[in-house]
Amino acid sequence: MTDLPTMQIILILAGLMAASVLAGIMAGLLGVGGGIVLVPVLFWLLSLTDFPPEIAMHMAVATSLATIIFTSISSARAHHRRGAVDVSLLKLWAPGIILGALSGGLAAKYIEAGGLKLVFGGIALLVSINMATPKTLVIGKALPESRLINGAISYVAGLISALMGIGGGTLSVPLLTGFSVDIRRAVGTASAFGFMIAVPAVVGFVISGLGVPGRPPFSLGYVNLLAAAIILPFTVGFAPVGAALAHRVDTIWIKRAFAVFLGITAIRMLMSSLG
């Protein structure tokens, strides 16, 4: 970064800050987690430099997860004040979410950049299609009664979320609403899942990235602390704004517009992984 022209550095920082504002609002408004915005932006910003391509996606995912630790707290508190966080559901899914997220962070060491891009692009494309579909996917009339089945579902959600660098909402909200959980309760509870995903996943990415060559200054494992410090004030500050909007406006058209953005992003990520 220090070798880049001043104007290019300014443009990169401006792009990062704009993406951070959008990520914070989306985290609170739709419960999708800011990572679904931050990961592709971070990846493409790194691609504008001479950054080693084999670790660019790892750094983007891990740094996004580090910011989600704090963004999810801000978003979850805002939803909790409105009574939208289901504590019993948190307790039910917490063990699987945490174990899955830690597994994802530790497994990242053995997954190449192309593999992470395929995971992100593939799941993001499915999520965008689900968001754009007028009729919500229905899996069941209620959550399974079996704790083992709930543990398996939450484990997979935590694992994939960690590998994508996203909070709990992107996968958890469609899953919960598919089991007929009220959308506002699903969004509020999923915002708290973000913390449960991000903390163990970051631990895994820090361990996985220790000693890896080519990382920029101020990196702890695959997490870049400088980028996280730039992102955090915007994501944390704007998450409550999104949460407030979620309780005041009809989010259907915002949801569909974001689905289009996410679909385009997913396709570009998939093309990049195959190119």
Q: 168: closest CA among 106, 83, 93?
A: 93
Cα-Cα-Cα-Cα torsion 10, 121, 55, 74, nearest 10 degrees, comes to 60
- Residue 242 near residue 29 (C-beta atoms within 8 A): yes
Mean pLDDT of 86-91: 92
Which residue bears the tokens 């396709």? 267
Count up the domains in the chain and report the number. Answer: 1
DSSP secondary structure of 26-95: HHHHTS--THHHHHHHHHHHHHTTT--HHHHHHHHHHHHHHHHHHHHHHHHHHHHHTT---HHHHHHHHH
Q: Do residues 90 and 42 lie in contact, with contact meaning Cβ atoms separated by under 8 Å?
A: no
Range of the domain at 242: 6-274
CA atoms within 13 A on the CB side of 86: 17
Q: How far apart are CA 274 and CA 117, in angstroms?
A: 9
* Domain contains 92: yes
Q: What is the pTM of this model?
A: 0.85
Q: How far from 120 is each of 11, 22, 38, CA to CA, in Å?
A: 25, 19, 12
Q: What is the per-residue pLDDT for 174? A: 83
pLDDT in tens, 8-66: 778 778 888 988 888 888 766 766 667 888 898 888 888 877 788 899 999 999 999 99
How do 223-224 and 219-220 pair as beta strands? Answer: antiparallel
In-domain check, residue 202: yes
Mean pLDDT of the chain: 86
53-81 and 35-47 helices, crossing angle to 10° = 150
**Residue 1 maps to a domain:** no
Handedness of CA 54, 156, 271, 228 (dihedral sign): negative
Q: How far apart are CA 75 and CA 93, in angstroms?
A: 19
Lowest-pLDDT choice from 107-111, 137-141, 152-156, 162-166: 137-141
Contact yes or no for 41/166 (Cβ under 8 A): no
